[in-house]
Structure 1
Amino acid sequence: MSNGHWKKELESEELLKIIFDYAGRITIENNLDRLLLLMADMGRDMTVADRCTLWLYDEQMDELWAKVAHGAHGMKEVRVPAESGLAGYVYQTSEPLVIEDAYQDQRFHADVDHTTGYRTKSVMVIPLKNKQNQTLGVYQVINKLTREGLFTPQDVRNLSLAASYTAQALEAVLMNTEMEEAQKEIIFKMGEIGEVRSKETGAHVKRVAEYAKLLAIKSGFSEEEADLIKVASPMHDIGKVAIPDAILNKPGKLSEEEFLAVQEHANIGYHLLENSKRSILKAAAIIAKEHHEHWNGKGYPEGLSGKNIHIYGRIVAVADVFDALATDRPYKKAWEMKRILTHFKMERGKQFDPTLVDVFLENLDGFLQIKEKYEDDRTK
């Protein structure tokens, strides 16, 4: 850096402004990736540094991991052994570390510098502790941008203080993420229960979930909402648990009475899920009830039509029928792709939302890739 570009140490008011600005955003952020980036940016700005990385400890893997900005493509996950390098040293000792020149310290690993062409010089690493004094991970701040180029004891105090405030927000999001992961697993397993009873494999549940996400993304949904549809969709046929095996696995045509019994699974699934306050289960309730409604109003259980059918139900309808036609079932062999595509074109604006059929046909390659990927998954 040339002499004309040195930055000044922050005045007290400037430091407070940075802390308040970031604290306001950090406490309301519930997405883990975005929270980690915010906390790293706060560390960088507070200490007038060039870069800051927040490393978190992964107990299962005994590793430290971090999300780092990765060009225009968003984020990349980096993992190192929990005792590796300067970050690992501070994680193990739980004591702050300030170094003038990383290359003079044998604990420093220069591999990343060598691959990126970056030159790490001054480094400050501080432990990130929760209220119970457990170390969750470490803050690693690199290359002080002032003329002296050195991190100060004041930097250590400031960042340690900010870290202790933000650790609480981080723990809440980590806890929520863990709960959501557990929820997703339970939902998937429950979805499989319904399928196993109708002689299906878990691959059906998986494929429908992936098709639904792809359809949502290509229809302009955000990644988060598309994921919500994906994780909720395995419950679309959960109501089948209440339908007798003899009807569920009947190889021939169903009588009118049997068909009405099968139709009832949409309402049963909805009533199983409707009272949950969790966003995933709320979405699952909608999907369970409405994925058999038809765009022209001739579906069940309510006979809803057009946009009165929730978009989640309309999306899963396309995903579910495509999978039903493209795979063998107890009552029929898989259709050829040409016949399936003809069916969707015929049912555009009848059974299915016309816009979604167009999106499906435009992105057929993506659907076929998913089909191939989960074709022979008999293990799940």
Structure 2
Amino acid sequence: MAKISSESQLSNVLVLMADMGREMIVADRCTVWLIDEANEELYTTVAHGVKMIRIPYGTGLVGHAIATGEAIVIEDAYDDPRHHAENDRKTGYVTKSVVTIPFRNHEGRTIGAYQAVNKMTEAGKFTSKDLELLSLAASYAGKSLESVMLHQEIVDTQREIISAMGEIGEIRSKEMANHVRRVAEYSYVLALRLGLSPREADLLRTASPMHDIGKVAIPDAVLNKPGKLTEEEYELIKSHTRVGHQLLKGSRRELLSAAAIVAGQHHEKWDGSGYPHGLSGADIHIYGRITAVADVFDALSAERVYKSAWPIERIEKLFEEERGRHFDPAVVDAFFAELPRLIEIRDSLADES
């Protein structure tokens, strides 16, 4: 129970709930079902031994339990017309005894259900004690799940806003929105190669589309100038890092804080010759060092209003030359190690001509 209440990731909470239910009443499998209101379906991402399952709302034993708000205990699923036998036919699994218990949020509204399958005792039947234990677990876990789902909704909303704002910055500079998507995916791959946790790598992937958000403050005439920039115009372009950081730095949200770092530091250089602050080495946040490589790789790979796309051999040569100067040597090493994967991403997210 304590693990569930302290967990903030929805997928982890669902796994913990399923594991707890299975162990608590000695079942072969335990499934946590949720409601997809938009598609009028019930679904589970956690069902021991099988992949995601989706069924129409109101169907099957779980559908009946959720619709009525009542628990169901049966000894043989195939003797009950409510059993959704199609899933057994698809998986080859044989469902026998079943206990299904709806769980509710703080307001008493049903938001899903526990379903335990096949009692692993000689009798092979779920008892009233099993029903009592799983009901207690459902009551507690349902309220914890609601909190996590609300947190996940906030995070998903932040992701959508960050992605949309990042695309706005690129569209203004006449660079296709796929640029920010590619940079995000490159950053994720490089972060994992460098040993960042999947959670932190995903955080960077979500935040990196905001790296050029400060371009919203740059006049179109300068941003889209096809010829060489004057010194004054170049200084104006460089200001997008300060503007982007300023826009995002005040948030206490983890995603926006990460985005502020990326926006402010992706043009810093390993040797200290970058901007806006001339940071060097490890003083540059790892997010900035990774995004710098991802951004430059994509910029060189893509055709822009002021240049043609570079061939991969020329790009490789530049990264070799700039290893330890512009770029963190470790990130460059990760770049070369993952180059085939990065090229796959580039090609799969290519801009429309």
- TM-score range normalised by the length of the shorter chain: over 0.9
What is the TM-score with the length of structure 1 in the denominator? 0.89
Match of 1:230 in 2: 205
- After TM superposition, give the deviation of residue 109 of structure 1 in Å: 2.8
Q: Say yes or no: does 1:244 pair with 2:219.
A: yes
Q: Say yes or no: does 1:66 pair with 2:44.
A: yes
Pick which of 116-125 and 354-363 moved more: 116-125
Contact 2:65 / 2:101 at 8 angstroms: preserved in 1?
A: yes
1:263 to 215, 238, 241: 238
SS of the residue 2:38 aligns to:
coil
SS of the residue 1:57 aligns to:
strand
Paired AA for residue 337 in structure 2: E
Match of 1:106 in 2: 81
Match of 1:277 in 2: 252
1:156 to 121, 131, 135: 131
Distance 1:106 1:50 in 2: 22
5+ long unaligned stretches in structure 1: 1-22
Distance 2:203 2:105 in 1: 30
Distance 1:374 1:159 in 2: 46
Distance 1:70 1:343 in 2: 49
SS of the residue 1:34 aligns to:
helix
Paired AA for residue 214 in structure 1: V
- After TM superposition, give the deviation of residue 276 of structure 1 in Å: 0.3
Pick which of 310-319 and 148-157 moved more: 148-157
1:37-186 map, 5 Å: 37-68=15-46, 76-186=51-161
Pick which of 78-87 and 216-225 moved more: 78-87
5+ long unaligned stretches in structure 2: none
Q: Say yes or no: does 1:28 pair with 2:6.
A: yes
Q: Say yes or no: does 1:292 pair with 2:272.
A: no
Distance 1:276 1:298 in 2: 29
- After TM superposition, give the deviation of residue 187 of structure 1 in Å: 0.5
What is the TM-score with the length of structure 2 in the denominator? 0.96
Q: Say yes or no: does 1:370 pair with 2:345.
A: yes
Match of 2:317 in 1: 342
Distance 2:351 2:288 in 1: 27
Match of 2:280 in 1: 305
Superposed CA deviations along residues 53-96 of structure 1, whole A, max 9, x for unmatched, are 0101111111111123677xxx9432222222211121222111
Q: Say yes or no: does 1:322 pair with 2:297.
A: yes
Match of 2:335 in 1: 360
- After TM superposition, give the deviation of residue 115 of structure 1 in Å: 4.4
Distance 2:87 2:194 in 1: 39
% of aligned pairs identical? 55
Pick which of 113-122 and 289-298 moved more: 113-122
- After TM superposition, give the deviation of residue 210 of structure 1 in Å: 0.7
Paired AA for residue 353 in structure 1: D
Task: State the superposition RMSD in angstroms.
Answer: 1.6
SS of the residue 2:118 aligns to:
strand
Pick which of 313-322 and 217-226 moved more: 217-226
Superposed structure 1 runs of 4+ greater than 4 Å apart: none
Superposed CA deviations along residues 109-130 of structure 1, whole A, max 9, x for unmatched, are 3344344443321111111112
SS of the residue 1:56 aligns to:
strand
- After TM superposition, give the deviation of residue 194 of structure 1 in Å: 1.1
SS of the residue 2:52 aligns to:
strand
SS of the residue 1:113 aligns to:
helix
Paired AA for residue 285 in structure 1: A
Distance 2:106 2:214 in 1: 44
Contact 1:203 / 1:377 at 8 angstroms: preserved in 2?
A: no
Q: Say yes or no: does 1:201 pair with 2:176.
A: yes
Pick which of 337-346 and 369-378 moved more: 369-378
Distance 2:301 2:92 in 1: 50
Distance 1:326 1:169 in 2: 46
SS of the residue 2:81 aligns to:
coil
Paired AA for residue 172 in structure 1: S
